[in-house]
């Protein structure tokens, strides 16, 4: 049964499993923003500005909660028992506690096997999370399109000045402003704009290997 938005929790809103990694949460957030962004094609003709604004606010709220380990922990206590994969794991724990796996040489191998089995059963039972078409955010490619005005919004929300970002990226604040506006005349070659936006996003901790350790940190590790 497809849930209505009002009844969705943050994981459902972002199409995430409740055990999603920070990287998956970040991917799902970016995917959701690109879906409902006013410049995005996906919701064109389906939603008006008001509806887009409402869902983007919810997406922001979801991301703000799930990206923060403490907030996430509190939130998980409330919602995770309602998720099918929670019960799947709970059931699995109950059943495996009765097992005598004496032949296994190393405990870690047993757990690997258990996890692999559990994963297979998720992909069978929970079609929403493990679709064959890679709908789940865990399979998103890393080459996201980062919207300039959204990067600006994230920057402002985190209280980072344009000059700071410019420093981190090694380009001028004026150039950063042009990136935020995605102003085509300033970027005659599309690749230049895309690379600039990617660099800007990386400076905010999105999509970089280095940033992954603390992807939502306000300052760069590098």
What's the min distance (Å) between Cβ of 114 and another protein? 27
The CA distance from 149 to 152, in Å, is 5
31 binds another protein (CB under 8 A): yes
Binding-site member from 19, 22, 23, 35 for another protein (CB under 8 A): 35
**Residue count at the site for another protein (CB under 8 A)?**
32
Burial of 182 (0-12, 13-18, 19+ CB in 10 A): middle
185 binds another protein (CB under 8 A): no
48 binds another protein (CB under 8 A): yes
Angle of helix 84-97 relative to helix 107-125, nearest 10 degrees? 140
Contact status, residue 20 vs residue 130, Cβ threshold 8 Å = no
What's the min distance (Å) between Cβ of 148 and another protein? 14
Contact status, residue 207 vs residue 178, Cβ threshold 8 Å = no
55 binds another protein (CB under 8 A): yes
135 binds another protein (CB under 8 A): yes
157 binds another protein (CB under 8 A): no
Q: Binding segment for another protein among 3-11, 97-105, 109-117, 172-180 (CB under 8 A)?
A: 3-11
Q: Is the dihedral of CA 14, 16, 22, 24 positive or negative?
A: negative
41 binds another protein (CB under 8 A): yes
């Amino acid at each position: 049964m497809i849930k209505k938005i009002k009844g969705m929790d943050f994981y459902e809103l972002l199409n995430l499993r409740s055990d999603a990694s920070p990287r998956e949460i970040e991917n799902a957030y970016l995917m959701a923003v690109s879906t409902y962004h006013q410049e995005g094609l996906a919701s064109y003709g389906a939603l008006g500005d008001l509806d887009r604004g409402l869902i983007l606010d919810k997406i922001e709220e979801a991301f703000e909660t799930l990206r923060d380990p403490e907030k996430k922990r509190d939130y998980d206590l409330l919602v995770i028992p309602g998720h099918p994969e929670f019960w799947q794991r709970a059931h699995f724990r109950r059943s495996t506690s009765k097992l005598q796996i004496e032949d296994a040489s190393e405990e870690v191998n047993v757990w690997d096997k258990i996890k692999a089995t559990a994963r297979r059963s998720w992909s069978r039972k929970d079609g929403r999370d493990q679709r064959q078409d890679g709908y789940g955010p865990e399979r998103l490619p890393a080459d996201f399109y980062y919207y300039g005005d959204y990067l600006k919004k994230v920057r402002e929300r985190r209280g980072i000045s344009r000059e700071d970002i410019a420093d981190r990226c090694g380009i001028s604040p004026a150039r950063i402003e042009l990136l935020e506006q995605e102003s085509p005349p300033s970027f005659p070659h599309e690749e230049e704009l895309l690379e600039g936006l990617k660099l800007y996003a990386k400076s905010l901790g999105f999509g970089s290997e280095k940033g992954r350790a603390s992807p939502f940190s306000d300052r760069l590790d590098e």
